[in-house]
Structure 1
Amino acid sequence: MSKQGQRVILSLRQMIVNGDLAAGERLREESLAERLGVSRTPIRVALKLLAQEGLLQTVGARGYAVREISSEEIRNAVDVRGVLEGMAARLLAEAGMTETVRETLKKCLDQGDQLFSRGTIDEEDVVSFHDLNMTFHNTIIDNCGNSAVKNAIMLNDHIPFASVSSIAIDSSAMDREYLRLTFANVQHHLVFDALINRQGTRAEALMREHANAALRYADIFGVGGGDNAAIKMLRNGQLSD
């Protein structure tokens, strides 16, 4: 997907989180394209992908509306992803990484470190982090030696905010977003250290914590508003244990 397409998805996802696109609201390609200053093509692709994430529901033959999402739905899905990704990390740590896997993960860490080395980020950096984040997680999942784990994660990804790709960005608070994403990058380093040292139990615990960070640390990195009750709770840190 093009960087413009990635930015459109990030923008629309954040508009849902903020409540700019309210639960039940019918979405129209033309008005969204005008609002974001793009053509209708990336809007059409983004709406389809957001529907696959479970953030939108189909209306009629080709339309979409924002779904009402329950807090329990989000919490349960994130918990499941934590368990599955934790299992994948443990299996990979116990089996040991190939040189190719090790190099791929190390490259993600190096790219992340370089990305945050300036002490600030912009929306282009968020798109870059999204890509390396997907590579980091998928490399662990794809090489854990258990295809059932991957298949289960793919099913769980259809629930809102369960997928590792479900990054939203608040462009009005980039200092806060810098802290949030830097923290995620640090967690990647810790997971990698456990994998290198073949510490299965530690790798599993770290990956589970990493998966749940969006819920557990929302109150540290700031809050937002929105008409969707579950997303309000997500942003306010009320879904944390």
Structure 2
Amino acid sequence: MTHFVLVAGARLGASAWDEVADGLRAAGHQPHPLTLSGLAEKRGVPVGRQTHVRDVVDEVERLDLREVVLVGHSYAGVPVGQAAERIGERLARVVFVDSSVPVDGESFLSGWPSDHVRKQIEENDGYWPPAGADHYADQGLTDEQIARIIQSSSPHPGATLTEPAVLTRPLGELPATYIKCLLDDEEPMPVVAELLKSEHWELVEMDTGHWPMFSQPVELARILAEVGAAS
């Protein structure tokens, strides 16, 4: 049995993993979906610098997890990647699900045109507001799945999107799997492509869009279970 800490991307909480968690349990593993501070049922919880990194580390330590697989989707790859190096020998593997990865001194919004996001945060009292249905088009999602994402979304604390990551060792030294969702973009972003040259990293592709926990939860659970079994 492998323990998985599952962290969804911006605006989403633990409920995004409901179907994936069911699949992991059916395969004999133990999932621990985690809602980050300030989101979903944790709205109103104060969020400062490195809060989301501490959320992940604290969950691993609170549950006293060993040989744990950390899973970060989209934005969550940034705090999960930082947490992975901080939990030390507790880590079995980190899985990045079509996600950004932390780069020391850079934020989630670094490296891509983000002026519109920064403006939205400024205009919405420091929060990135939930997206409309158009944002999820052409990503392999049904109308029902899109409605579920929108219903479960909440404003995202902007400070976590603009704070610089802090790494103490090269990310390529960590045992990692990167899951690339091909409808989002056929090629990994350059920083990920460079990391995939490491002998410690592997690439897995999914023929779906950026939210596979909604569009292909059974397949994502299968991939994660295989990662866990091999870790």
More strand by share: 2
Interval of TM-score (by shorter of Structure 1 and Structure 2): under 0.3
More helix by share: 1
- TM-score, with length taken from structure 1: 0.26
Structure number with the bigger relative contact order (C-alpha 8 A, sep ≥ 6) is 1
